[in-house]
Amino acid sequence: MSEEQTTPVTEEVQAAPAPIESVSKPQKFGYWWGTGRRKAAVARVRIRPGSGKIQINKRNVDVYFTELQDQKDVTAPLEATKTDEKIDVFVNVKGGGITGQAGAIKMGLARALKDYDSALEPVLREYNFLSRDSRKVERKKYGQPGARKRFQFSKR
């Protein structure tokens, strides 16, 4: 029978690679930026690590948006990604109405979060925060009182 040959096994101890940081470097001046649009509103959103304050046009979110629905729209991406008390949000928004501005901020915040940490993108996509809602108000046509309504027809 053959003799079993044993070869000495040398185990190389390697240090475990450091976990890959998914948080990227800030784009400008220590902030991550995102732009959101909804109807006629445009929001420029800046985020940075912090205590969780949200300022819209240099006012608190609960002062700027009085309706609870709009406040929840603004904070929805932060709550979905569980970063609501880790990130400060600063927003400049103009144009459109209240609901359009809240939707624009939601999209801009989601885009800024995606740039901040690429691991958050699947969660943001799952809740459709990165999808643009392209619906706009239909224009009024001549010969009608509105976009679709017609003046009353009278046969006699």
Q: Apex CA 126: angle with CA 48 and CA 132, to 5°? A: 75
- How confident is the prediction along the chain (156 residues), in pLDDT tens digits per residue? 555 566 555 555 444 343 345 667 777 788 999 999 999 999 999 999 999 999 999 999 999 999 999 999 999 999 999 999 999 999 999 999 999 999 999 999 999 999 999 999 999 999 999 999 999 999 999 999 999 999 999 998
Burial grade of 110 (CB within 10 A; 0-12, 13-18, 19 or more): buried
Q: Decide: 114 and 130 in contact? Cβ < 8 Å.
A: yes
- pTM for this prediction: 0.79
Q: Which fold has domain 32-126?
A: Ribosomal Protein S5; domain 2 (3.30.230)
